[in-house]
Amino acid sequence: MNTKEAILFKDGKPWMKKGNKSFNVTMGSWDGAEVADLVGLYLLSKLSDLDLDVGLYRDDGLAVLRLRPRQAELMKKRICRIFSELGLRITASANLKSVNFLDVNFNLETDLYRPYMKPNDTPLYVHKDSNHPKNILKNIPLSINRRLSAISANEDVFNAAIPPYQEALLKSGYDFQLKYEPPLSRGGRKNRPRKIVWFNPPYSCHVQTNVGAKFLSLLNKHFPKDHPLHKVINRNNVKVSYKCMPNLKQKIAMHNRRFSTRNEPQTTPGCNCQGGTAECPLGGQCKTQGVIYRADIITPGLDTQTYTGLTSRTFKERYYGHTHSFNHRDSTSSTTLSSYLWALKDQDRNFNISWRIIDRGKPFNPVSRRCNLCTKEKFHIIFQPEGASLNKRSEMFSTCRHRKKDLLCNLD
């Protein structure tokens, strides 16, 4: 369970198939593909000692044997035995000269491969006049043509397979004619990919404003060549790509989720300070989790300085970290707040610190791959600079520290 990005739970228990006592994950779940890849790699390591070439994609496998029919049957039994010893069931067939694997048919007798479609299966594509970004609609027929050409052994095989795909494209409003294009061989040295920051606004054909052009013009206006941040934010490493609007199913799901959680009782985190609320730095809310907080440092004779921070843990745990850096000189540079306070101590100045919560958010979610906590902190630092006078602006480009806890190398 530690190797999964998300786990399906109901009533505090892991989801499983009826009648199956072992934990199960469906291929349609959020982490089904990740689990299948992880299990597949383990199975391939178990099959590495066998004399066969085998490959896996999710829960489908294909192997090539250079053995006689009787020996191939014995090899199939050995493979089934390995799966059985690991508590898995497998359906395998041996001595096949022609096999359908995913969307390709392989034939060893003719040495040809061709596109494969399940019986009574009709392809269906997004209509040309649908509310999708233009680059997506433009590339639909091109991607279909590339895929069919890649899985066709020659032009004759391609022409024999394209009629249902061509008909589906015409029904979806495209006038594109499928034509065989041999895949180009990849050669030469691969260039190192540039680190790109993508801006993905939602696309709607009802919006007449060119949002992408407006955004890029703002880059040229606010980050010219003489700007100190031009090397970080420029037209070479900031790109625009539209994303699709949520469909009706997603809107209904969000609506149901919002109303189902509306009536849930909101529990107050409370406080466990020994001195009670009077001694609590947040007035009885020190056990609140996932907060963006602000510290005001009041020094007689000097301007009030502010610091904005965050924590995915309880505020009290983060508060203990701050107080440790305030009292131990070896932790002076742990934060800009501690550096400032030690500078005041060296000048024998008295100061008072007050704490308050300015926002809350959820940390990194491996399913959505988004950290609302880090995003909200950066928002407050940018748009409320009066509350972050001690913060470094380099924090805007730091990576999310909360996603590291989900890496396999950090699990015991």
**Better-scored residue on pLDDT, 98 or 36:** 98
What average pLDDT does this structure show over 121-134? 91
In sequence order, what are the beta bridge partners of 377? none
pLDDT number for residue 270: 75
Assess contact for 245 and 206: CB atoms under 8 A.
no
Q: What is the separation, in whole angstroms, between the first and last Cα of the chain?
A: 12
Beta strands in 136-255 (DSSP E): 197-199, 238-240
Q: What are the pLDDT digits (tens) for 351-381?
A: 999 999 999 988 887 767 788 999 999 999 9
271, amino acid identity: C
Q: What are the pLDDT digits (tens) for 231-254?
A: 888 999 999 999 888 878 878 877
Domain ranges of the chain: 9-96, 103-183, 195-258, 280-410
Instruction: Evaluate the CA torsion angle 23, 27, 29, 35 in order and state its sign.
Output: positive
Residues 6+ apart with CB under 8 A from 224: 230
pLDDT-based confidence at 34, cuts 50/70/90?
confident
pLDDT number for residue 187: 66
What average pLDDT does this structure show over 9-24? 61
Q: What are the pLDDT digits (tens) for 44-59?
A: 999 988 888 898 888 8
